[in-house]
Amino acid sequence: MSDLKKTVFFGSDPIALPILETLISAPLRALVRIEAIYSQPDRPSGRGQKIQPNAIAQWARRYGIPLFQPEKLGPEDAARLRELGCDIGLVMAYGHILKQEMLDAPRLGFFNYHASLLPHFRGPAPIEAAIASGASGTGVTLQRIVPALDEGDVVGSAVIPLDEDSTRASLRERISDACTFITMDTLPRIIRGTAENIPQPEKHASYTRKISRADSAVDFRAPARMIAARTRALSPWPGCTFPFNGLEIKLGHVEAVSAPELAPAAPGTVVPWMKGELLVATGKDFLRIHSLQRPGGRMLPARDFLAGMKIPAGTVLESREMIPLSQKTPWKKKPAAAVPAAPRSC
């Protein structure tokens, strides 16, 4: 037992659960022991807004691992890691920034699982940004944490291809699975001191930002393929919505179609199409809308939705600016809201 590397894990999102399961499974349980878990405090959740622990906190309690849930990390937390004699710190989707005093506590350092192939899509929304950008692939990077945002050396990575069926939910699942591979492959090399530390090429860096309600805006002046990708990236929240009859209508499953047989129309125009189907002109090609949802209702097939709320051919749906989810330079301020507040259940 004395040879086991003492490990502390920081995380708050269920996407990180496979990492924890891997750490307590063979063969890694012969190399490491989880001394403590840090996670976000229990918060209100669900329709009843009852105080609930997140999935990582539940896992820690189930296995009897010491759990700490401070609202803000302080010097006492760095002191605790030193007292525990921690060798390695692992982080994924924790929700707090680790200051230098904390980073210096584990003997071998802190390492973060980031849901992109760094330096692409640094920041808080790499999964959504990768899908919305139309990238052909993304992945997971295990990087040494430094004070600068996601700029530490890369010690391990896994590539994940993307296609036009990739959604936020499906990509989260694949990233979660990839973390298992990276943990099994890279953690033993970190322990042995043989892990390669690869600097990130700054010229390829891009940065994401925190997603807000404003990002549900749809701009039909954009190409249909871009709108479809953004819809897949932002489902289920905040989703992509357009205003109609005083309501925010949410897009469900959509696809870009070329339909060269149709006459060109102004972006946002509902064009004649098959009965029970909804086709909208965009800046390039057409957006075929398979399902929609009104505030407080269920997501319905277009045929069922249109039976209760007509959107006749010739209607011009309003376009609103879609603020990019990523850019080549760090974000300096929060983008202005473009969408009015609407019920959370929309």
Contacts of 123 (CB under 8 A, 6+ apart): 149, 150, 207, 208, 209, 326, 330, 331
Query: What order do you get walking across the sheet with 247-251 strand by strand?
Result: 241-244, 247-251, 291-293, 300-301
Run of H or E residues at 173: helix 168-192
What b/e sequence results for 129-145 when a residue is b if at least 16 CB atoms lie within 10 Å of its CB, and e otherwise? bbbbbebeebbbbbbbb
User: How many CB atoms within 10 Å of residue 294?
Assistant: 18
- The answer to whether 292 is annotated as binding is no
Distance (Å, rounded) from C-alpha 208 to C-alpha 138?
14
HSE-up (13 A, CA, CB side) for residue 226: 16
The 3-state secondary structure of 265-310 reads CCCCEEECCCCCCEEEECCECEEEECEEECCCCCCEEHHHHHHHCC
- The answer to whether 117 is annotated as binding is yes
Distance (Å, rounded) from C-alpha 127 to C-alpha 251?
19
Tokens of 154: 């890369």
- The answer to whether 278 is annotated as binding is no
Q: Is the peptide bond before 119 cis (omega within 30 degrees of 0)?
A: yes
Distance (Å, rounded) from C-alpha 158 to C-alpha 334?
31
β-pairing, 110-114 vs 137-144, is antiparallel
- The answer to whether 199 is annotated as binding is no
Binding residues: 116-119
Binding residues for (6S)-5,6,7,8-tetrahydrofolate: 116-119
